[in-house]
A and B are shown apart, each in its own frame.
Chain A
Amino acid sequence: MSILIKDLKYTYMPKTPFEKTAIHDISLEIQKGEFVAVIGHTGSGKSTLLQHLNGLLLPTEGEVFIDGEKITKKNLSEIRRKVGFVFQYPEHQLFEDTVYKDIAFALKRFKLSDEEIDAKVRKAANTVGLDEALFESSVFDLSGGEKRRVAICGVLVSDPSYLLLDEPASGLDGKGRRDMLALLKKLNSEGVTIVLISHSMDDVAEVADRIILINEGTVALDGTPGEVFSKEELLASMSLDVPEVTKLFNDFSKRSGIPLPTVTTALQGREIIRMLINEGRLVL
């Protein structure tokens, strides 16, 4: 059970003067249950890659398999039920007059009874922590964080095993951002595979188990946050940052001469400090 990508290549507007190869030579596998972050600067091709995972784009060359089944024009409906995609701006998908109807939209095409639909909508709302009192409100009156929840809910109703998200936390305030990351963590612990795109290295370090770095249309690095963020200079050459905390401890390590592992989150940073205190190297 996995997402398997083989020798993927995609060219925009082939055979025209505007022809541009967005991604090439990508082969990788994402196992069920992983929490993957795809990073790369704007225009690196990460969004093009993500759109191949549920058939929004079909490869110019190469193949993509979902649980062993190759994505083709013919099985899109089934693939999209299995692989949900939440876009960056919920405004791009919310359209029904009430929250409830909007969440239920994806279920329309399956011949389900009203009770079955109702059960699925309530279950999804419960998962994302959306207050049922909002069901009858207009989608356009919601706050930014609520809109995003409804958008995710509208994808979760189809019970996808894989969830793709483009910048799920951007534009949210502090609490909204933390709640969103916690929600994704929770979904992942319930067995949903998460693949997200993010520009925030701090967020990525906090939630992802694996980071795939895309540069100039192909995979440049693939590993744990610790592995990827240990290459500060390489990332800088691709105009990417490492988390602020990583820089802090790198600088400290350099100046103090104490060798330290790559620190990617505040939590790890606190552990390092505790360790240094216990070893008697730091005295408060």
Chain B
Amino acid sequence: MKISLGRFVPGNSLFHKADPRTKIIWTVAMMVLVLMCRNYVEYAVAAVFVIASFVASKVSFKFILQSLKPILVLLIFTSLFNFLFYRGENVAFMMWSKPIYWESIAMSIKTVVRVVLLIISASLLTYTSSAVSITDGLESLMRPLGVIKVPVHEIAMMMSIALRFIPTFADETDKIIKAQAARGAEFDSRNVIKKVKSYIPVLIPLFIAAFKSAEDMSTAMESRCYRGGKGRTRFKVLRFSSADIVITVATVLFAASIIVLHIFIK
């Protein structure tokens, strides 16, 4: 069974080629810059940059819509609240004999744009990088924390083993559910308590399998001379490429323009 981890869609775009560290820093930078935006000009610049990035990532628009969907309801609600309870000075029109102000419309638009831009930026990271490469990127970025005794290597090893086992356990769960269903277990009760209870015959074998795997795994690692991060060399190294330079330069220019606009437009 092929299970896609996270939402990674393989590809060959500028973003796919970039180093995960660049993409992680890029995402954080985008968050900060989008949240800094205050006026329409800044929003317009940010929107253009995010859309340009989106085009450069060659991620299908369908996928972006998918990640926006769950947030959409939230957006509609906040806008509605804004309309109903915000008191401004310039009345735009009346709705159900309640005044709707220009200010609240403007605010709603800004909120929507802001959230949409944030989500698109974050989606670009997860759609163009595998979970494994994000882990590698995080490990590399967190390495300086080793100085203050954060067990960076151990955390990264744990994350990587967890990622490695997700598909294995998904397969295992499927088999256990079938084995129990075959001897009469039913999982489709409408009663919540009954439903939770019906999964006990699945959870127990799954936990036992997980413990067994963990035990086997630690023996296998020990047998292959694993003794923690000390003195270890790395097979996989992250390397920056021209894609990273392009993204970095573009982002620096974008950041500069936002900051300049921030200072000059009051």
Of the listed stretches B64-72, B87-95, B199-207, name the one at the interface; the rest are far from the partner chain: B199-207
CB distance from A147 to the nearest CB of B (A): 12
The verdict on B183 contacting chain A, using a C-beta distance below 8 Å, is: yes
> Is the pair B180, A81 in contact by a Cβ cutoff of 8 Å?
no
The 8 Å CB contact of A54, one of B180, B182, B204, B212, is B182
Q: Which residues of A contact B179 (CB under 8 A)?
A: 85, 87, 92-93
CA of A278 to CA of B2, assembled, Å: 59
Question: Using Cβ atoms and an 8 Å threshold, which residues of chain B touch A87?
Answer: 175, 178-179, 182
User: Which chain B residues (181-231) contact chain A, with CB distance < 8 Å?
Assistant: 181-186, 200-201, 204-205, 208-209, 212
Which residue of A77, A87, A95, A109 has the most chain B CB atoms within 10 A of its CB atom? A95
Report whether B205 and A95 are in contact in the complex, using a CB–CB cutoff of 8 Å: yes
B178-A91 in contact (CB<8A): no
Which range holds the interface residue count of chain B?
20 to 34
Chain A 27-65 interface mask (CB, 8 Å, partner B; 1/0): 000000000000000000000000100101000000000
B176 beta carbon closer than 8 Å to chain A = yes
A56 and B178 form a contact (CB under 8 A): yes
Evaluate contact between B181 and A95: CB separation under 8 angstroms. Answer: no
- Place the interface of chain A in its size category: 20 to 34
Which residue from chain A places its CB closest to the CB of B200 in the assembled complex? A95
B208 & A140 in contact (Cβ 8 Å cutoff) = yes
Residues of B within 8 A of A18 (CB): 2
Which chain A residues border B184 with CB–CB below 8 Å?
A: 77, 80-81, 105-106, 108-109, 158
The binding surface of chain A is classed by DSSP as: mixed
With the chains together, A77 CA to B189 CA distance in Å?
13
Provide the residues of chain B in CB contact with A85, threshold 8 Å: 178-179, 182-183
Cross-chain contact of B208 among A81, A91, A109 (Cβ < 8 A)? A91
Q: With both chains docked as a complex, state the minimum distance between the C-beta of B203 and any C-beta of chain A, in angstroms.
A: 8
Q: Are A77 and B186 in contact (CB under 8 A)?
A: yes
CB of B183 within 8 A of CB of A84, answer yes
Does B183 contact A105, Cβ atoms closer than 8 Å?
yes
Closest B residue, CB atoms, query A108: B184
CB <8 Å contact, B183 and A92: no
- With A56-B178, A92-B176 known as contacts, the answer to whether A106 contacts B183 (CB < 8 A) is yes
CA distance A272 to B19 in the complex (A): 70
Q: State whether A155 touches B183 (Cβ < 8 A).
A: yes
Residue on B nearest A110 in the bound complex, by CB: B184
* CB atoms of A93 and B205 under 8 A apart: yes
Contact among A77, A80, A92 with B205 in the assembled complex (CB-CB below 8 Å): A92
Contact with B along A102-144 (1 / 0, CB 8 A): 0001101100000000000000000000000000000010000
* A94 CB–B CB distance under 8 Å: yes
> Chain B 155-183 against A: per-residue CB contact (8 Å), 1 yes, 0 no?
00000000000000000100110111111
Q: Does A145 contact B (CB under 8 A)?
A: no
A109 to B209, CA, bound (A): 26
Report A73-100 CB contacts with B as 1/0, cut-off 8 Å. Answer: 0000100110011010101111100000
Which residues in A have their C-beta under 8 angstroms from that of B201? 93, 95, 105
Cβ–Cβ contact B183 & A154, under 8 A: yes
A94 to B179, CA, bound (A): 10
Which residues from A are CB-within-8-Å of B183? 80, 84-85, 93, 105-106, 154-155, 158
Query: Max chain A CB contacts within 10 Å: which of B2, B176, B179, B205?
Result: B179
> Interface residues, chain B, CB within 8 Å of chain A?
2, 172, 175-176, 178-186, 200-201, 204-205, 208-209, 212
A interface with B by C-beta (< 8 Å)? 18, 51, 54, 56, 77, 80-81, 84-85, 87, 89, 91-95, 105-106, 108-109, 140, 154-155, 158
Beyond A92-B175, A92-B176, A92-B179, list 19 extra A-B contacts (CB 8 Å): A85-B178, A85-B179, A85-B182, A87-B178, A91-B205, A91-B209, A93-B176, A93-B179, A93-B180, A93-B183, A93-B201, A94-B205, A95-B205, A106-B183, A108-B184, A109-B184, A109-B186, A140-B208, A155-B183
A selection of 22 A-B contacts at a CB cut-off of 8 Å is A51-B178, A54-B182, A80-B182, A81-B184, A85-B179, A85-B183, A87-B178, A87-B182, A91-B205, A92-B176, A93-B179, A93-B180, A93-B201, A93-B205, A94-B205, A95-B205, A105-B184, A105-B185, A109-B186, A140-B208, A155-B182, A158-B183
